[in-house]
Amino acid sequence: MIRTKLCDLVGIEYPIFQGGMAWTATGDLAAAVSEAGGLGIIGSGQAPADWVRREIRKVKDTTAKPFGVNIMLMSPYVDEIMHVIVEERVPVITTGAGNPGKYVGMLKEIGTKVIPVVASVALARRLEKVGVDALIAEGMESGGHVGEISTLPLVPQIIDAVKIPVIAAGGIVDGRGLAAALALGAEGVQMGTRFMCADECTISPKVKEMILKAKDRDTAVTGHSTGHPVRCLENKFTREFSRMEREQVPAAELEKLGAGRLRLAMVEGDTENGSVMSGQVAGAVKKIEPAAEIIRDVMEGAERELKRLAQLISS
Ligand code: TUI
């Protein structure tokens, strides 16, 4: 049985967060992950506050266990969503794509744990100072909006820079990844791509199929020229976008071209023209299974690996 400080901090059995993926992590997935003993997280993305409230209620109707909401800080609805978080007394929030500093005080006042995703040591240091409860250090192996540093160099550098618990994200798909994250000093992991293939994940089956078929080199990062690099499975859309970036099409035009593409993939199932955000571990996702099975497999695998490693030590 593996338990870490993170389990006590947020009241979960297993140190596994499910990434709060936009247009992907609905209340259905979050409820299943939380009920199975991890932390399920609703991905609010650019959805309006009413949608977020509905998904929160869905989780509350399904499980009494803790859950979270991810707030994408580039969303135009951040302030309204923060109000919903406060009204609904959401136990945990994670944030992405920005600095949540100005909201921390108000959330801490109501006892919500604030756990931002960071991709650099500088932001980790700044956020520790404003009083966040923990940090998710996300390497550029992740799907979606990414930083510049890989998980292996990022996680220990952030751990050395702060005193609060750090959760590793990016490139983690099984028990070996959890064991490796614990070896780096992390208190747990966040996984996104593998949970996209959970039974309870409501995205289009076509996206799940594309992940199952993916190989190790099938993701690409586009959007460096817009300042918002995004990792997706390669398709017609990423190839067109990359070509336009090489031709130095202005950022504003590219941003317009990208609008609505994530929904197009995840909801409509258009895996050619949509943005199929996925991590580099897509090639390691082998089947569609219940969220509870994913958690069981990761925990069993980590325990097996840690025991094997302990045996390498000769006294
Ligand atoms: O946020 C994510 N992943 C995401 S957000 C998203 S929705 C989106 N769609 C189109 C374009 C952009 C986003 C899809 N995937 N992960 C957490 C994360 N945050 N990764 C990197 C960052 C980050 C980057 C820069 C956090 C802070 C930051 O700078 C803030 C500052 O003030 O220094």
Which of helix, strand or coil describes residue 144? strand
Give 199's contacts (C-beta < 8 A, 6+ positions apart).
32, 288, 289, 290, 291
In percent, the amount of the chain with pLDDT more than 70 equals 100
Q: Which atom of ligand 1 is nearest to the CA of 126?
A: 33
Give the model confidence (pLDDT) of 159-213 as tens digits: 999 999 999 999 999 999 999 999 999 999 999 999 999 999 999 999 999 999 9
The alpha carbon of 145 and the centre of ligand 1 are apart by a number of angstroms equal to 5
What is the arithmetic mean of pLDDT over 84-108?
Answer: 96
Query: What pLDDT, on the 0 to 100 scale, is given for residue 314?
Result: 87
Residues with C-beta less than 6 Å from any ligand 1 atom: 22, 45, 72, 74, 96-99, 117-119, 123, 138, 144-147, 228, 230, 262, 277
What is the arithmetic mean of pLDDT over 292-315?
Answer: 96
Q: Which of 145, 149, 151 to mutate to test the pocket of ligand 1 (most atoms within 8 A of CB)?
A: 145
Give the model confidence (pLDDT) of 234-255 as tens digits: 999 999 999 999 999 999 999 9
Query: Rounded to whole angstroms, how far apart are CA atoms 284 and 176?
Result: 12
The alpha carbon of 199 and the centre of ligand 1 are apart by a number of angstroms equal to 26
The alpha carbon of 4 and the centre of ligand 1 are apart by a number of angstroms equal to 27
For 217-245, the DSSP string reads: T-EEEE-GGGT--EEEE--HHHHHHHHHH
In single-letter form, the type of residue at position 90 comes to V
Q: Which atom of ligand 1 is nearest to the CA of 258?
A: 10
The alpha carbon of 244 and the centre of ligand 1 are apart by a number of angstroms equal to 22
What is the arithmetic mean of pLDDT over 106-133?
Answer: 97
Q: Is the pLDDT of residue 27 over 90?
A: yes
CA-closest residue to ligand 1 atom 16: 96
Token duo for residue 228: 């918002």
The alpha carbon of 97 and the centre of ligand 1 are apart by a number of angstroms equal to 2
Q: Where are the beta strands (DSSP E) in the chain?
A: 16-18, 40-43, 67-72, 92-96, 113-118, 135-138, 144-145, 166-169, 188-191, 219-222, 230-233
Query: Rounded to whole angstroms, how far apart are CA atoms 86 and 81?
Result: 9
In single-letter form, the type of residue at position 240 comes to E
Q: Is the pLDDT of residue 79 over 90?
A: yes
Query: What pLDDT, on the 0 to 100 scale, is given for residue 136?
Result: 98
The alpha carbon of 209 and the centre of ligand 1 are apart by a number of angstroms equal to 26
What is the arithmetic mean of pLDDT over 112-120?
Answer: 98
The alpha carbon of 205 and the centre of ligand 1 are apart by a number of angstroms equal to 26
Give 59's contacts (C-beta < 8 A, 6+ positions apart).
27, 30, 31, 34, 40, 42, 67
Q: Is the pLDDT of residue 315 over 80?
A: no
Sketch out the chain's domains with CATH numbers: 6-202+286-308 (3.20.20.70), 205-281 (no CATH)
Q: Which atom of ligand 1 is nearest to the CA of 45?
A: 7
What is the arithmetic mean of pLDDT over 267-292?
Answer: 98
Query: Rounded to whole angstroms, how far apart are CA atoms 38 and 192?
Result: 13
What is the largest distance, in Å, between two alpha-carbon atoms of the chain? 63
Q: How far is CA 101 from CA 95, 157, 181, 264, in A?
A: 10, 21, 26, 32
Average pLDDT for the chain: 97
What is the arithmetic mean of pLDDT over 269-273?
Answer: 98
